[in-house]
Amino acid sequence: MAEIKFTTSLEHNIQVLKNIFKDDNTFITRKAKSKNGLSCAVCFFDGMVNNLAINQSIIRPIVSCYESTVTAETLAETIIQINDSIVQTDLNKMLSAMMYGDTVILTEGESRPVVVNTKGFSVRSSSEPDNERVLRGPREGFTEVFMTNLSMIRRRLNDSRLKFSFSRMATHSQTAVCLCYIEGVTDDKLVKEIKKRLNNIDLDGILDANYIAECIRDEQNSPFPTLGTTERPDVVAAKLLEGRVAIITDGSPVVLTAPCILQECIQANDDYYLPVMQASLARIIRSAGVLLSIIIPALYIALLYYHAELLPTRMLLAITAAQKGVPLPPLWEIFMLLIVFEILKEAGARTPGVIGSTMSIVGGLVLGQSAVSARIISAPAVIIVAIAAVTGLAAPKLQNAALYLRFVLLVCSALFGLYGLILGLSSVLLHLCALHSCSVPYLLNLLPRVNAHTEDRAIRISWRQMKNKRFIAGRGKK
């Protein structure tokens, strides 16, 4: 940032600011004079401030002031009628605050500016995140506004040990980032480690939480998420209670949580808001769905190419009948359909509402039906890919991993049959065993050797039993 220096001359100080923002038409300087000769300049950016607050709580008190000269302290403490007003001696911080919606007040005869919190830019109201909907439970979601997001967490955890540690990152964007944790619950080593990783970030701009996620996550090449993401304040509060840390980024509704283990990828947001039996059954179904989504195309190819004897005769006949006249062999059919499905999913996600749903119907139903009728693809291949696609939606956090693994296992089974499929799945298991998130084993609570931290695993336990058996990241065995 530019080196700036204020003097006791108001005109000089105004000129310094005007020089810095010389081609910026949103920069506004409004002079205010009292009857007794007090001369001030109110500087702010249009659109970023609350005009009513400036008019009523800054300009009006200055104009009606009886003093002829005031110090910066007097101005901040007795004249300005806004709760958050400070004398800022660091002029770079002053510029940064002004660019973020604060108002700077310069006074004749005073070299130190007063910075007043008048942020008033338009913001989106809180709504339920589209990709994290719940059947039952809170429907509030984070927005792009930093302080609002922090307040949503604070409101849920009324504890003095809840800490918000701020820092500004990236050379150009100077994005505010907050590390949030509960002192005494979160492991100190984890907090230090995350702070160290955050301090090592060297970017020119941070526009979303993913910029930070990619810089600080473990195992960058793994398709499995090693850093949790959520847009729900209740989920962040729950994770903080489990000894995790949350990273809130200004301008992004996505909050990062660490460490992230496989178990939480299979859990749904409303797992703990639904009755125990319903939630437990849903967890099991979800796990089966993920597994099915990954292996079903590979299993189909392995059975058809190498182990047709395992198929019932009638099923084999039905598949061979469906394949007759189809130009592509089953392997290429499945490959092609999986790719087409991903393209449709990508296009649907990027297309606005009504067109998106129309495109899904045309792309999924009409196109699929027509392709089967025209014998371009066979019906069993469509069914297999549809099952893989639909079951994959059961655990949205593992969609990326499922996408990669589906193709990898498909190649394995096409080359070596069921043996290849087992070999591929074993390799995935080995990879998961080696995976860590902030030094926490990724399979914690799922594999027997590392499962003793909680009894809330594949089957959810009741809240009545949870208090002493809750999972706390970083804490030893129960």
Partner 1 sequence: MKKLLLLIPCILMLAGCQPIKNKRVELNQNAGQILPISALAIDKEDDLYKMTIESIRQDSLDGEVTPEYFTVKADDFSKLFYNADMMFASRLYLSHASVVIISEEIARFDIDKLIDSLIQRPDVRLTLRIAVSESASPDEILQAPSVTDGIPGMALSSLIEKRTKDQTFKDFPMFRILDYRLNGRDIALPVLILSDDGHAAPDSSIIISKDGGIKYA
Q: Determine, following the binding rule CB under 8 A, whether residue 109 of this chain makes contact with partner 1.
A: no
Report the C-alpha gap between 145 and 272 in whole angstroms. Answer: 27
* Secondary structure (DSSP) of 321-340: HHHTT-SS-HHHHHHHHHHH
In DSSP terms, which residues pair with 228 in a beta bridge?
A: 257
φ/ψ (deg, to 5) at 49: -120, 165
Element (H, E) at 114: strand 114-116
Q: In angstroms, what is the minimal distance from the CB of 320 to partner 1?
A: 5
Contact 439, 258 (CB under 8 A): no
Judged by CB under 8 A, the number of residues near partner 1 is: 30
- In terms of Cβ atoms closer than 10 Å to its own Cβ (0-12, 13-18, 19+), residue 463 is exposed
Q: Beta strands 175-182 and 85-87: pairing type?
A: unpaired
Segment interacting with partner 1 (CB under 8 A) among 82-90, 242-250, 302-310, 396-404: 302-310
Report the C-alpha gap between 110 and 10 in whole angstroms. Answer: 8
Segment interacting with partner 1 (CB under 8 A) among 76-84, 148-156, 228-236, 301-309: 301-309
**Choice between 335 and 442, CB closer to partner 1:** 335
Binding mask 389-428 for partner 1 (x = CB under 8 A): -------------------------x-xx-x---x-----
Cα-Cα-Cα-Cα dihedral sign, residues 44, 50, 56, 61: negative
**Choice between 99 and 411, CB closer to partner 1:** 411
Under 8 Å CB-to-CB from 142, ≥6 apart: which residues?
126, 129, 149, 152, 231, 232, 233, 253, 254, 255
Q: Which two tokens stand for residue 327?
A: 């130009």
**Choice between 57 and 378, CB closer to partner 1:** 378
Q: In angstroms, what is the minimal distance from the CB of 292 to partner 1?
A: 21
Q: In angstroms, what is the minimal distance from the CB of 414 to partner 1?
A: 6
- Which of 71, 222, 320, 360 lies at the binding interface for partner 1 (CB under 8 A)? 320
Q: Determine, following the binding rule CB under 8 A, whether residue 316 of this chain makes contact with partner 1.
A: yes
**Choice between 330 and 364, CB closer to partner 1:** 330
Q: Which two tokens stand for residue 379?
A: 């019906």
Please report, as residue ranges, which positions from 362 to 381 form the binding site for partner 1 (by CB under 8 A): 378-379
Segment interacting with partner 1 (CB under 8 A) among 44-52, 67-75, 252-260, 321-329: 321-329
Q: In angstroms, what is the minimal distance from the CB of 291 to partner 1?
A: 21
Nearest to 248 by CA among 142, 335, 359, 319: 142
Under 8 Å CB-to-CB from 9, ≥6 apart: which residues?
108
Report the C-alpha gap between 163 and 186 in whole angstroms. Answer: 11
Q: In angstroms, what is the minimal distance from the CB of 324 to partner 1?
A: 4
Q: In angstroms, what is the minimal distance from the CB of 411 to partner 1?
A: 10
Q: In angstroms, what is the minimal distance from the CB of 398 to partner 1?
A: 23
- Which of 284, 285, 317, 366 lies at the binding interface for partner 1 (CB under 8 A)? 317
**Choice between 215 and 423, CB closer to partner 1:** 423
Segment interacting with partner 1 (CB under 8 A) among 56-64, 80-88, 228-236, 300-308: 300-308
Contact 119, 53 (CB under 8 A): no
**Choice between 166 and 332, CB closer to partner 1:** 332
Q: Which residues bind partner 1 (CB under 8 A)?
A: 304-306, 308-309, 313-314, 316-326, 329-332, 378-379, 414, 416-417, 419, 423, 430
